[in-house]
């Protein structure tokens, strides 16, 4: 279905990907999308971002994401959800929540366990609580056979230790919004993990080191995401009303990553989509 852009995005921000894209991290249950979700989805279609994985960061958001998939998925847009408890909310983890999150994995819309992991940068939940909640979700991944959608900030070493202990029991796992250093990247690749890249490297202040690293990620391990509404690329060629990031802007990020990898935008669009389809076990496009 051909779709055209509405007036919300300025002309310079109406990107169309040369090949269909999968946005593996879209927080569309965020309140900032409540007012105009159908328009946001229509713009994603127009940009050829044809598959969205809606991030479920706690029980409530995961349930909302599942409902959103049922209501808004259609022939032109394939919607799927993840279901997990973010490390920020790890202190809420208990047996009842564990059972509810395991049950969510049985919904056909749910394609991964997560977002879960460790965040020792902010410690909104204590490191002990975070490790307990993550351990519980590793068990859910092992039992369900679903891939993991991981969040890590300043906790690369501990995350690797925990994944190492579980490596034979779990399947595929992606570290979403990778922003860490070379040693951490190679540690993840050694564990046969996948890497999710956002528009972080569009930020000339803090994404510099990533630009040199992105070429080291094998194509069959690399996927792309907006992490919207967060992480609006800083180098967009025009100003955006409200400064809220959205899936329609993913082609810009792909273009940037392709540039720093020294490959074409089309080649990267195709390889990241193929990797995402395999990773999340999505039906053929
Ligand atoms: Zn995250």
Helix, strand, coil percentages for the chain (3-state, nearest 5): 45, 15, 35
State the DSSP H helix or E strand holding residue 283, giving kind and residue range, or none if neither: none
For each of the chain's 285 residues, which pLDDT tens digit applies? 567 899 999 999 999 999 999 999 999 999 999 999 999 999 999 999 999 999 999 999 999 999 999 999 988 899 999 999 999 999 999 999 999 999 999 999 999 999 999 999 999 999 999 999 999 999 999 999 999 999 999 999 999 999 999 999 999 999 999 999 999 999 999 999 999 999 999 998 888 899 999 999 999 999 999 999 999 999 999 999 888 999 999 999 999 999 999 999 999 999 999 999 999 999 876
Residue 42: name the closest of 266, 269, 247 by CA: 247
Helix 59-72 to helix 37-46 angle (10° resolution) is 60
Check residue 207 and give its pLDDT. 85
> Residue 109: phi, psi to the nearest 5?
-75, -20
Residue 254: name the closest of 277, 271, 279 by CA: 271
Q: Say how many Å lie between the CA of residue 152 and the centre of ligand 1.
A: 7
Q: Say how many Å lie between the CA of residue 155 and the centre of ligand 1.
A: 13
Architecture (CATH level 2) of domain 17-279: Alpha-Beta Barrel (3.20)
| Residue list, annotated binding site | 115, 151, 176, 227
Q: Say how many Å lie between the CA of residue 124 and the centre of ligand 1.
A: 13
Q: Say how many Å lie between the CA of residue 230 and the centre of ligand 1.
A: 10
Q: Where are the domains of the chain?
A: 17-279
Q: Say how many Å lie between the CA of residue 42 and the centre of ligand 1.
A: 25
Q: Say how many Å lie between the CA of residue 28 and the centre of ligand 1.
A: 14
Check residue 285 and give its pLDDT. 64
48 DSSP 8-state letter: T
Q: Say how many Å lie between the CA of residue 4 and the centre of ligand 1.
A: 31
Give residues with Cβ within 8 angstroms of 236, minimum separation 6: 12, 13, 202, 249, 252
78 DSSP 8-state letter: E
| Residue list, annotated binding site for a divalent metal cation | 115, 151, 176, 227
């Amino acid at each position: 279905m051909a779709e055209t852009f509405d007036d919300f995005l300025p002309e310079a921000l109406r990107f169309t990907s040369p090949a269909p894209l999968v946005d593996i991290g879209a927080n569309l249950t965020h309140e900032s999308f409540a007012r105009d979700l159908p328009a946001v989805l229509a713009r994603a279609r127009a940009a050829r971002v044809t598959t969205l994985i809606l991030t479920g960061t706690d029980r409530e958001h995961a349930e909302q994401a599942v409902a959103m998939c049922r209501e808004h998925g259609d022939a032109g847009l394939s919607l799927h959800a993840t279901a997990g408890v973010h490390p920020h909310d790890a202190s809420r983890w208990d047996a009842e929540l564990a059972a509810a999150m395991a049950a969510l994995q049985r919904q056909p819309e749910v394609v991964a366990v997560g977002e879960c992991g460790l965040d020792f940068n902010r410690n909104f939940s204590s490191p002990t609580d975070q490790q307990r909640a993550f351990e519980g979700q590793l068990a859910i991944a092992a039992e369900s056979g679903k891939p993991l959608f991981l969040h890590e900030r300043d906790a690369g070493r501990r995350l690797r230790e925990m994944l190492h202990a579980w490596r034979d029991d779990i399947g595929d796992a992606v570290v979403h919004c990778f922003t860490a250093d070379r040693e951490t990247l190679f540690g993840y690749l050694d564990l046969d993990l996948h890497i999710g890249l956002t528009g972080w490297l569009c930020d000339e202040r803090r994404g510099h080191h990533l630009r040199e690293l992105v070429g080291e990620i094998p194509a069959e391990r690399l996927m792309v995401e907006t992490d919207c509404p967060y992480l609006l690329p800083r180098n967009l060629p025009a100003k955006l009303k409200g400064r809220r990031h959205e899936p329609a802007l993913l082609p810009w990020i792909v273009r940037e990553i392709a540039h720093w990898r020294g490959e074409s935008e089309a080649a990267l669009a195709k390889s990241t989509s193929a990797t995402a389809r395999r990773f999340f076990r999505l039906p053929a496009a």
